[in-house]
């Protein structure tokens, strides 16, 4: 009896990625991006929920989808501060172990980055550089740079569906 193998090719989602270092809150970052890039990022009804081994984390997500543009923009927070989901018992009725909030990251290999701006579909290099330079001029942004997504280990964490 012959065996047949069916190989499915899953095409990776192509996108460009900008790392943003900023102490601004997510809504302020979205506001300034809207103002400087002349776009309309809006907060999604649902945040990106991600289950880490010890944490259930929610990362703020803002998106811009416009038929006039040939690409989409998504701003996502990289940091979440919360308490572990594990319940620890010390075996005593009166003694409880205090758990302090810890910070977890959507993209762990870039744990210093505060936000990622994901630019979906193809974008011209000239337009991408314009966006990157404009972000660098926003008050409250310490740095912004492009990330090579081919070498990104946690690339699947940036696919929001």
pLDDT single digits (tens) 57-107: 788 899 987 667 677 899 999 998 766 655 555 555 555 555 667 788 888
CA–chain centroid gap for 97, Å, is 32
**Is 138 within the bounds of a domain?**
yes
> Which residues have C-beta within 8 Å of that of residue 41, sequence separation ≥ 6?
30, 33, 34, 62, 63, 64, 73, 75
**Is 33 within the bounds of a domain?**
yes
For residue 73, give its domain range: 12-82+125-152
Assessment of whether the complete model's pTM goes beyond 0.85: no
**Is 111 within the bounds of a domain?**
no
**Is 157 within the bounds of a domain?**
no
């Amino acid at each position: 009896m012959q065996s047949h193998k069916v190989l499915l090719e899953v095409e990776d989602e192509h996108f460009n990625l900008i790392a943003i270092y900023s102490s601004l809150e997510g809504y302020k970052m979205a506001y300034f991006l809207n103002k400087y890039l002349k776009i309309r990022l809006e907060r999604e009804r649902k945040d990106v929920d991600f289950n880490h081994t010890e944490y259930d984390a929610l990362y703020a997500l803002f998106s811009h989808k416009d038929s006039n543009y040939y690409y989409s923009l998504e701003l996502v927070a990289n940091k979440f501060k919360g308490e572990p989901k594990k319940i620890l018992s010390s075996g005593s009725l009166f003694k409880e172990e205090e758990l302090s909030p810890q910070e977890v990251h959507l993209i762990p290999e870039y744990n210093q980055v505060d936000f990622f701006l994901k630019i979906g579909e193809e974008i011209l290099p000239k337009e991408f550089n314009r966006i990157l330079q404009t972000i660098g001029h926003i008050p409250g942004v310490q740095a912004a740079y492009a990330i090579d997504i081919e070498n990104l280990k946690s690339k699947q964490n940036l696919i929001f569906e």
